[in-house]
Amino acid sequence: MSPTRPIPSHRQPDLPATDDRTQAIHATNRLLAGILLILLGGVFYVAAAFFMPVVLALLLALTLSPLVRFLHRRGLGEGLAAALVVAMLALGLAGTFAAVGTPFFNLVDDAPRMVAEVREKFEQIREPIETVTEVAEQVDDATGAEAGVQQVTVQQPGILSQVAGSALSIVTTTVIVVILTLFVLASGDHFSEQIVKSFGTLRDKKRALRTVRDIEGEISRYLLTITLINACLGVAVGLAMWALGMPTPLLWGMMAALINFLPYIGSLIGIAVVAIVSLATFPTMGAALLPPLAYFACTAIEGQFVTPTIVGRRLRINTVAVFVAVAFWSFLWSIPGALMAVPILVFVKVLSDNVPAMHGLGRFLSADADDAAAMPPPDPPRAAAAE
């Protein structure tokens, strides 16, 4: 009798733990990406004087590149088209500084008088506060006399000199940004061509080219649209301030157009500044409240109806992401960083929509759940696709 043969087992052989290895690689990549972001934040903070004009120039170049390309297709050379566009930009900035420079410095110089008049109108509120302050000062004086503390008062420079120094720094940075923007625009498609050439396969080259074009187009359309909306808002605010009798209505219109690039914060700053000047200008409280209310009405109509309708749902971004971006870039680069926060966030959003590995970030940045769900999933790994 022949020996019984063992029944073959249908149990699959143990496979190598590729899933665990892949998860470990992904976790390591995420850790390295987090460390890289922290290091980049530190570099941007330490070298803000260098990176801030560079980033602003790149954003301007992305915005103006379609116009330069349009002029180039009409027969102008890339250098001449870039010079023409940048010259128009420089003339616009120079005209803006010339128009609002004198009223702005006059307003700053008159700030102590306006503050004094506002204090007089709030005399009833100020009296109990002053009483508490005087008591606190008496306690501090008595404590300082007993301890033998000698106070030294350091005279600070005047407000006007501080503002003049800041204005000089702004003009210097503006000149650097304009020159750098000219060089970037005059180079044409050199940067995008080098980015595409850095990829190996034809599929990756096509994807890189599509990503570069999408980023350029979306950033340009977004910034140009927001700039036009803010310009219209400035005109509306200026006309409202002129109709209500506010001094220097051109200054208020320019201020509204500029600070409206700051989401949420810009309108609050504008309302507060207009309210202070209005309280110092008009004799009655009723008349003084009309200019800040008009400013609030203009910004509310713009923020709730005009911008959502014109910009549409294509580039709507999560409100939490916008707030965090404004806070982060304000911490790094102060007011210029806050002005560039949303354009930088739009750049990241468009990049996330085009790079499969960043689709998760794109879903987080999307304002609508439907838009996030409609985003295509990332491509499968090459090993799985090969199987």
Q: What is the pLDDT of residues 224-262, one digit of tens each?
A: 888 899 999 999 999 999 999 888 888 899 889 988 888
pLDDT given at position 355: 75
Note the pLDDT tens digit of each residue in 307-338. 877 876 556 677 788 888 888 888 888 888 88
Residues 366 and 372 sit within 8 Å (Cβ to Cβ):
yes
Is the residue at 305 inside a domain? Answer: no
166: CB partners within 8 A, 6+ apart: none
Bridge partners of residue 366, in order along the sequence: 317
Angle at CA of residue 39, ends 38 and 41, nearest 5°:
65
- Sign of the dihedral defined by the CA atoms of residues 95, 57, 344, 216, in that order: positive
- Is position 73 within any domain? yes
The pTM of this model reads 0.68
Query: Does 70 map to a domain?
Result: yes
Residue 183 domain-assigned (yes or no):
yes
Spatial contact of 260 and 227, defined as CB atoms under 8 Å apart: no
Whether 380 maps to a domain, the answer reads: no
**So what's the pLDDT on residue 347?**
83
The pLDDT of residue 152: 45
Q: Count how many domains the chain has.
A: 1
CA separation for the pair 145, 151 (Å, rounded): 10
Most confident stretch, 36-40, 203-207, 366-370:
36-40
pLDDT, position 293: 94
Q: Within a domain: residue 63?
A: yes
Percent pLDDT > 70 in the chain is 74
Range(s) of the domain holding residue 67:
47-119+163-188
Residue 331 in any domain: the answer is: no
Q: Does 58 fall in a domain?
A: yes
